[in-house]
Amino acid sequence: QVRLQESGPGLVKPSETLSLICTVSGASIKSSSHYWGWIRQSPGKGLEWIGTVYTDGRNHYNPSLTSRVTISGDMSKNHFSLNLTSATAADTGVYFCARHSPDFWTGTPGYMDVWGKGTTVIVSS
Amino acid sequence: EIVLTQSPGTLSLSPGDRATLSCRASQHFSSSFLAWYQHKPDQAPRLLIYGTSTRPTGIPDRFSGSGSGTDFTLTISRLEPEDFAMYYCQQYADSPRTFGQGTKVEIK
């Protein structure tokens, strides 16, 4: 059974970088033909898709965040990470990691078939 | 970006009732690219439906999806106690992927 677990600081200061890790068990991010990505939920904006990284390192990002976000995989540790620079209060929320199945027709990130439980991040001084 | 609007915001029903949840898109897209999720507090969201109407292995057949164009529906034929939760639709036809704001199915 594939499981995902988010981890990282629960409190980040404004202007600093928000960094989270998603540890994967029951599957290899190196060999699995899936995208691995992040979604967040904030009171003001509901669920917001942040982006993904593929097995070969390719990324897809939300255009609204692309200037600040990096998602990358560490094959040796079987985890992937999220870095969001210049954090503000608007980045406060619950962050979920999720496995995305490649869409059959386009090959791009499709539906999310496995999720983590989420981790809360507050951006505040 | 494709905006998804779910209705109603809250559905108050009793176990055994039929639940009908709506998801309307701001622009037309192929029904191949619509998913539904269930989310309960302190749990990981669960994929219920993808491709508008396909259930993953392990999802009970009381959950069904339908729709096309801009109008999509999730139906729960007979509510079980464990079905009271938040439900979200999501499109993967266009970038960025977007979600509806959710429908809460609560016990009446």
pLDDT of residue B33: 92
Residue linked to tokens 């993967």: B92
pLDDT of residue A24: 97
pLDDT of residue A33: 85
Residues A64/A91, Cβ–Cβ less than 8 Å:
no
pLDDT of residue B31: 77
Tokens of B51: 């491709």
pLDDT of residue A73: 94
Between CA A79 and CA A21 the distance in angstroms is 7
Checking if the pLDDT of A31 tops 80, the result is no
Average confidence score pLDDT of chain A: 94
Between CA B33 and CA B54 the distance in angstroms is 11
pLDDT band for A83, please (50, 70, 90 cuts): very high
The amino acid at B96 = P
Nearest to A35 by CA among A87, A111, A117: A111
pLDDT digits (tens, 9 = 90+) for B20-65: 999 999 999 887 899 999 999 999 999 999 999 999 999 999 999 9
- Percent of chain A at pLDDT exceeding 70: 99
Checking if the pLDDT of A27 tops 90, the result is yes
pLDDT of residue A57: 87
Residues B83/B65, Cβ–Cβ less than 8 Å:
no
pLDDT of residue A46: 83
Checking if the pLDDT of A32 tops 90, the result is no
Residues of A in contact with B101 (CB under 8 A): 46
Q: What is the mean pLDDT of residues A90-99?
A: 97
**CA within 13 Å, CB half, A52:** 26
Could you tell me which chain B residue has the CA closest to the CA of A119?
Answer: B42
Cis before B8 (ω within 30): yes
Q: Which helix (H) or strand (E) segment is B9 a member of?
A: none
Q: What is the mean pLDDT of residues A49-71?
A: 94
Interface of B with A in 14-73 (CB under 8 A): 32-33, 35, 37, 42-47, 50-51, 56
Between CA B92 and CA A6 the distance in angstroms is 23
Burial of A26 from C-beta contacts in 10 A (0-12 / 13-18 / 19+): exposed
pLDDT of residue A43: 80
pLDDT band for B1, please (50, 70, 90 cuts): very high
- Determine the distance in angstroms separating the CA of B98 from the nearest CA of chain A, rounded to an integer: 6
